[in-house]
Amino acid sequence: MSGVVSYRFGPFAVDAASYRLLRDGEVIPLSPKIIDLLLYLVARQSALVPKDELFAALWPDVAVTDNALTQAVSELRQALGDDPSKPTYIQTVARRGYRFIAAVETPAAAPAPVPRADTVHAPSDEAAAIAVLDFTNVTNDKDLAWLSSGIAETVTNDLRSTGALRIIDRIRVVEAVRRLGPDLPALARDLHLDLAVVGSFQRAGDRLRITARVVDTTSGEALADAKADGLLADVFELQDRLVAQFAEAVGAARKDHWVRRSNRETSSLEAYQAFTEGRVRLESLDAALVPGAIADFERAVSLDPQYALAQVGLANARFWQYEMSRARNQPEASLLARAIDHVRRAIELDRDLAEGHATLSFLLVSAGRTGEALTAARRAVALEPGYWGNQFRLAHAAWGEERLRALLRAMELYPDFPFAHFEAAMVHIARGTLDHAESVLREGTIVQDRQANLKQRYPAKGLHWLLGLVRLAQGDVTEAKVEFNREISAGASQLYAAEFAMNAHDGAGFACLYAQDPAGARAMFDRALELFPDHARSLVGRGTALAAEGRRKDADSAFARATAAIDALRRGGRASEAALAEAFQHNVNGRADRAIEALRSLLERAEHPFAGWTIPIEPLFASLRGLPEFRSILATLADRAR
């Protein structure tokens, strides 16, 4: 890729190709947005860059507040160790903008780049980037509509397995086409493409013709054409023949492992159709579609019991069923066990199925077996490092710096996956660096809100709730309420919507308590309990509000219900959540020493390395923040998150 450079200043180097900031050769984890900011400033070294220009460059077509830019600059300064009162690198020009003031070295032969916030930045030593678009259903055959994405997915996977091209993930391709239409130049700019595969299919009786071409997105030239004719029942062979015809032309020579594996894939067209339709349902994360996805995957498995990918699909679908019960005190553990059984079966069928190992990792985290989960996730990344989903599953199983590194790579591969920002913010909150957490969350909420009216694959919830808690911990009640209301109004059909709506109602209740409005707080906790009637934190909050209203008898009743909920959490195998809720209950009833003891026990016996990560921002612990014993707990939590 010509035209991208590295910049050096002081002990730092920022690489516009690999999208990394290094200090003396060591990578400093930063989100893509912060790298964009740094690149934009260093490319204009010594020049005043107005705020409006930075807003346009970093958040094109998105309305954000001044605080978003302030937080981004603050995070960049912290990464550089720059003191804003005596800046070495970034100078603030009051009410106008920012100036990069350090001496910058660039390779003399390379032109300076203009960083874009909406592009994917590939490592400098990797091959051309290629995307596969949905294949056009020429005959508009409704019975074969599913093949449009099915062929594209299969061709994408075949190309990925060659290891010779940088494959743009299908999720990003589908989303870009939905936003921009089939305009290839626009898609190339948005996805930072070198090549694109465009094609079509048509049926005549029991026969199918698939045609495709590889297009150079810069020149518009067709580099390779391919055509495959045959029986509809032989669609898999037709797709492989298609890829084989143009693979060599784009430098993707066939490898031995590229041959279709009978256990990974299927020879049954019906099973393939059922799997494809189930995957599309599941990736919407629409709770109402999960039962249909389960039925699809079960049908695929019944048609071909050796179909490993269908077993993985069924594992994921069962897991999402389990997740629907997650906010209950006693979730449906049998669903999680069944999901793990399905994915282990998939790995038995194909030991090198990266998606199987990644899915197993995700499930094992929920089962509290984080050591095994981390091993499985690392195996998935070793098998297929260029897939964002494997990097995200590794991040989910890991903690501290390993999580941040994996999330950074996941966001490089898939910038529009907002939940990655949530998981990065978890680490920063546990470390007590709330300004970093806020910056990451604000970036994530921008992505989440941009997707709000689109039918997204893997949409996100919860970022506004978490941002609200961060703002509340910093004493900003007004903005915290705004964020909680944004979470509540974000819709209820998505898989985690009800859980985060409950969390946001709780957050709004705590904000009312901060504002000395106990009646308003009680109303918020009551709305949370309408969603999950036995939720311990909501019950403790309600008891606190009732006590503040002087209704001691009613408060004691709410606290008694909370105690029963805590016991139910323990019986449900959720010891960490029980310990946290117990600490809430002790503290609001004037037993600070017992609250500290419960938190210490949580950290000593936690089933997850990230257990207790919300402690620094929990509103019910606000009164503990000045105690040395509580500061000791925060130090332990921060140390674990390094």
Q: What is the 3-state secondary structure (H, E, C) of 564-623?
A: HHHHHHHHCCCHHHHHHHHHHHHHHCCCHHHHHHHHHHHHHHCCCCCCCCCHHHCHHHHH
Tokens representing residue 593 in the block: 């020493």
Mean pLDDT of 375-385: 92
Distant-in-sequence, close-in-space partners of 55: CB < 8 Å, separation ≥ 6: 64, 69
Confidence of residue 451 (pLDDT cuts 50, 70, 90): low
> How high is the pLDDT of residue 482?
93
145-154, 186-195, 236-245, 524-533 — which one is most confidently predicted on average?
Answer: 524-533
Confidence of residue 220 (pLDDT cuts 50, 70, 90): confident
Report the alpha-carbon distance of residue 102 to residue 87 in Å, rounded. Answer: 9
137-146, 428-437, 458-467 — which one is most confidently predicted on average?
Answer: 428-437
Q: Which carries the bigger pLDDT value, residue 296 or residue 327?
A: 296
> How high is the pLDDT of residue 62?
62
Tokens representing residue 141 in the block: 């055959």
Phi-psi region of 428 (alpha: psi -120 to 50; beta: other; left: phi over 0): alpha
Q: How far is CA 529 from CA 4, 24, 541, 642, in A?
A: 54, 52, 10, 36
Report the alpha-carbon distance of residue 426 to residue 462 in Å, rounded. Answer: 12
For residue 4, pLDDT over 50 is answered with no
Contact status, residue 467 vs residue 504, Cβ threshold 8 Å? no
Tokens representing residue 443 in the block: 């970036």
Q: Which helix (H) or strand (E) holds 549?
A: none
Paired with 224 in beta bridges are 214
- Alpha-carbon torsion angle 537, 538, 540, 544, nearest 10: 140
Distant-in-sequence, close-in-space partners of 310: CB < 8 Å, separation ≥ 6: 266, 271, 274, 275, 278, 297, 300, 301, 304
What share of the chain has pLDDT > 90, as a percent?
41
> How high is the pLDDT of residue 620?
96
| Nearest residue to 451 (alpha-carbon basis) of 463, 442, 460 | 460
> How high is the pLDDT of residue 234?
82
Q: Which carries the bigger pLDDT value, residue 443 or residue 586?
A: 586
Which one-letter DSSP state was computed for residue 112? P
pLDDT in tens, 24-72: 878 787 777 888 899 889 888 888 888 888 888 887 756 666 777 887 8
> How high is the pLDDT of residue 114?
37
Weakest mean pLDDT among 8-12, 196-200, 323-327? 323-327
169-183, 191-205, 245-259 — which one is most confidently predicted on average?
Answer: 191-205
Mean pLDDT of 340-368: 92
> How high is the pLDDT of residue 120?
32
For residue 453, pLDDT over 60 is answered with no
Report the alpha-carbon distance of residue 578 to residue 580 in Å, rounded. Answer: 5
Q: Which carries the bigger pLDDT value, residue 572 or residue 540?
A: 540
> How high is the pLDDT of residue 410?
87
pLDDT in tens, 590-639: 999 999 999 999 998 877 889 899 999 999 999 999 999 999 999 999 99
For residue 445, pLDDT over 90 is answered with no
Mean pLDDT taken over the chain:
84
User: Radius of gyration over alpha carbons of the chain, in Å?
Assistant: 26
> How high is the pLDDT of residue 285?
65
Domains of the chain: 6-100 (1.10.10.10), 129-257 (3.40.50.10070), 269-397 (1.25.40.10), 416-640 (1.25.40.10)
For residue 5, pLDDT over 70 is answered with no
Q: Distance from first CA to last CA of the chain, Å, rounded?
A: 35
Report the alpha-carbon distance of residue 117 to residue 577 in Å, rounded. Answer: 38
pTM for the model:
0.74
Mean pLDDT of 489-503: 78
Q: Which carries the bigger pLDDT value, residue 211 or residue 240?
A: 211
227-241, 249-263, 485-499 — which one is most confidently predicted on average?
Answer: 227-241
Q: Which carries the bigger pLDDT value, residue 295 or residue 184?
A: 295
Report the alpha-carbon distance of residue 255 to residue 214 in Å, rounded. Answer: 20
Weakest mean pLDDT among 216-230, 463-477, 528-542? 216-230
Phi-psi region of 289 (alpha: psi -120 to 50; beta: other; left: phi over 0): alpha
Matching residue, tokens 């997105």? 217
Mean pLDDT of 201-208: 89
> How high is the pLDDT of residue 3?
41
Mean pLDDT of 517-526: 96
> How high is the pLDDT of residue 31?
75
Q: Which amino acid is at 472?
A: L
| Nearest residue to 226 (alpha-carbon basis) of 207, 250, 242 | 242
pLDDT in tens, 245-302: 776 666 555 444 444 444 567 878 889 889 988 988 887 767 788 899 999 999 999 9
pLDDT in tens, 381-426: 998 887 888 999 999 999 999 999 999 888 877 777 888 999 999 9
- What is the pairing mode between strands 129-132 and 195-204? parallel
Q: Which carries the bigger pLDDT value, residue 4 or residue 474?
A: 474
Matching residue, tokens 């109402």? 288
